[in-house]
Chains A and B, each alone.
Chain A
């Protein structure tokens, strides 16, 4: 069964509003989680590394004030897209490593549409 849960699966919002996406590790603790973004028919690009109890590490070119990441517990990381615009419409996927060798587990993704 799923080991990483992501919610919501899809969301439609209006320009200027904020959207929060949750990523939970279900039966293990994850001090680190990752947020990826995937545009249609493109690959996944790492946005940021979420670190439990400390600030997230953002990839170059990713606006940290627009994509707020909070990793307040060992099983939950949240990504908030602030003041969303249509160009933020994308598929957002989180992942969490369970241990040093098993495949990195991905959430089911969140499809964000900003109108």
Chain B
């Protein structure tokens, strides 16, 4: 069974600082997704990573994928308050398009 583990689960960081969220998955998966969720809202797609070594960047967020290590990272650069949200990674199951999600990282960026 595909298990997805995310850490840390809670992260409080100061504006301007950098930090990385880690996502490990237990079995081979073709794709890794990162989503953002604001309170009371649904999921907003951030990145989809399709292959080993994939790196994608959007603004202050950068995601990478190492399929050999079964590890994806979401790096936050010079955090700003607007990045406060819960971030989920999710790995694609081996059949179809169902996802297994990590537990999420609740990020709070403080002044």
Contact = CB atoms under 8 A, between A and B. Distances in A.
Contacts, number: 52
Given A34-B99, A44-B99, 15 more contacts: A6-B42, A32-B97, A34-B97, A34-B98, A41-B106, A43-B102, A44-B43, A95-B97, A102-B48, A103-B33, A104-B33, A104-B99, A106-B45, A108-B42, A109-B42
Contacts of A101: 48, 50
Contacts of B99: 34, 44, 46, 95, 104
Interface of A: 6, 32, 34, 41-46, 49, 93, 95, 97, 101-109, 111
Interface of B: 33, 35, 40-43, 45, 47-48, 50, 88, 90, 96-104, 106
Given A32-B97, A44-B88, A103 B42 contact: no
Chain A to chain B: the 9 pairs with minimum beta-carbon distance, closest first: A103-B45, A97-B97, A109-B42, A106-B43, A43-B101, A108-B42, A44-B101, A43-B103, A103-B48
B96 A93 contact: no
Contact of A104 (B41, B97, B104): B97
A10 B41 CA distance: 11
B48 A43 contact: no
B103 A46 contact: no
A56 to B, nearest CB: 12
Contacts of A6: 42
